[in-house]
Amino acid sequence: MTAAGPSGRLPLEYVLPLRWSDDDGCAELTDYLRWLSGRVSVTVVDGSPPELFARHARCWPHLVRHLAPDPALRYLNGKVNGVLTGVRLARHERVVVADDDVRYDERALGAVHRLLAYADLVRPQNYFDPMPWHACWDTGRTLLNRAVGDDYPGSFGLRRSTVLAMGGYDGDVLFENLELLRTVRGFGGVEAAPPDLYVRRLPPTARRFWSQRVRQAYDDLAVPPRMVLFLGVLPAVAVLAMVDRRALLGAAAGVVALARWGRRRAGGAAVFPARACLFAPVWVLERAVCSWAALGLRFGRGGIRYAGHRIRVAAHSQRRLTGVPRRMAPRTSVLGAAVSSSPSRRGGPTMPRG
């Protein structure tokens, strides 16, 4: 059972790292924060420009604890600065970290809280709602991921003591969620990833969707077998188009069938529409094209531009993050004081730089 406090609120910290350049979604987010603050403690770590930061402070004075990222944290991926600031200052051991487009309900909050009783990291499954055409397109990716292995959400449940004891995680990477996951695994942490723990996510605008195509393909550099697979798709399609077009149609049908399996897994049909399966072959072709663009950026430009910086590393390998003594990275020194008073239960990983 979930142990709620005397006010009916869960002893759970919700950390929202935020960095906005405009306030188009502020009213909707304020409604969500109003609902959320009645159920859990909420910390918004706001890296928005000063005028927006001040506006947010006026909008949410009694709803959330609103603060700026710790200036001692200067990672290239600003989201990590917000996450580590929020986790360090969390008022509860059990923490949910979520992107600004993630929308929990009471059932999901309670499930994450229960799982954190034994797990160091909880990985839910996101789904889009509403579902415009570009969200269907991106859901094709989710369904294929569910069919063959891991999908990576915009939210994790974390144990605060584990994150502090392992000295945080490297934020000079693009695929920061995978970096966090691998760091927890390398530290010996317990992961819970129930495939039926569904958490709603708002779809991006179509413009933002298009802007993310190459960036998301760049993430696959952290998973070399996956990158090699997608780099081989375009040559394979070219050969099949010349030799046997029926085989090409058969391959597309196979991708749709695989997406259907991912949709049916763990009751997924309740949140993933059937039409999203038809977008799976389209997404595979998109990823095949963008993988070559990502490879060119990695070796031709030294990395990909993200939030005003060029980031070279997608994420460090599990091998590099496992089984070696932890060395506190200079940019995570803000966590050092917390670590010194919270001894590690396990041997920690190296915090590699770039």
Average pLDDT over residues 1-12: 70
Query: What is the residue type of 296?
Result: G
The model's pLDDT over 219-262, given as tens digits with 9 standing for 90+, comes to 999 999 999 999 999 999 999 999 998 999 999 999 999 999 99
Q: Same structural domain for residues 165 and 244?
A: no
Query: CB-hemisphere CA count at 13 Å for 17?
Result: 24
Q: What is the pLDDT of residues 207-229, one digit of tens each?
A: 999 999 999 999 999 999 999 99
User: CB-hemisphere CA count at 13 Å for 272?
Assistant: 33
Per-residue pLDDT tens over the stretch 149-161: 889 999 999 999 9
Residue 4: the pLDDT is 60
The string of pLDDT tens digits covering residues 46-61 is 999 999 999 999 999 8
* Whole-number pLDDT of residue 323: 64
Q: What is the average per-residue pLDDT within 161-190?
A: 97
Q: Phi and psi at residue 95, in whole multiples of 5°?
A: -130, 140
Q: What's phi and psi for 342, nearest 5 deg?
A: -135, 80
Reported as a pLDDT band with limits 50, 70 and 90, residue 327 is very low
User: Domain range for residue 251?
Assistant: 209-311
**Domain with 58 in it: what CATH number?**
3.90.550.10
Please tell me whether residues 221 and 198 are part of one structural domain. Answer: no
In a domain, 242, yes or no: yes
Taking alpha carbons only, the member of 278, 277, 250, 285 closest to residue 261 is 277
Residues 81 and 167 in one domain: yes
What percentage of the chain exceeds 70 in pLDDT?
89
Residue 167 sits in the same domain as residue 242: no
Which of these ranges, 3-7, 148-152, 212-216, 292-296, has the smallest mean pLDDT?
A: 3-7
**Per residue in 122-149, pLDDT tens?**
999 999 999 999 999 999 999 999 999 8
Quick one: which of 213, 212, 206 has its CA closest to 285? 213
Residue 7 — pLDDT band, cuts 50, 70, 90? low
pLDDT exceeding 90 applies to what percent of the chain? Answer: 84
Claim to verify: residue 114 and residue 230 sit in the same structural domain: no
Residue 41 within a domain: yes
In a domain, 351, yes or no: no
Residue among 216, 219, 200 nearest 208 (CA): 216
Segment 16-23 mean pLDDT: 92
Poorest-confidence range of 198-207, 298-307, 333-342?
A: 333-342
53 shares its domain with 129: yes
Q: Is residue 8 part of a domain?
A: no
In a domain, 95, yes or no: yes
Q: Is residue 48 part of a domain?
A: yes
Whether residues 304 and 323 share a domain: the answer is no
Tell me: do 148 and 245 sit in the same domain: no
Residues 160, 46: Cα–Cα separation, whole Å: 20
The pLDDT assigned to 115 comes to 98
Residue 187 lies in a domain: yes
**pLDDT tier at 325, thresholds 50, 70, 90:** very low
Q: Which of 282, 261, 288, 259 is nearest to 137 (CA)?
A: 282
Same domain, yes or no: 108 and 144: yes
Q: What is the pLDDT of residue 8?
A: 74
Residue listed under structure tokens 């005003």:
308
57-61, 63-67, 264-268, 275-279: least confident range: 57-61
What is the structure's pLDDT at 329? 39
Residue 7 lies in a domain: no
Mean pLDDT of 16-44: 94
pLDDT of residue 131: 97
pLDDT over 90 at 263, yes or no: yes
Number of domains forming the structure of the chain? 2
Residue 350 has what pLDDT?
A: 40
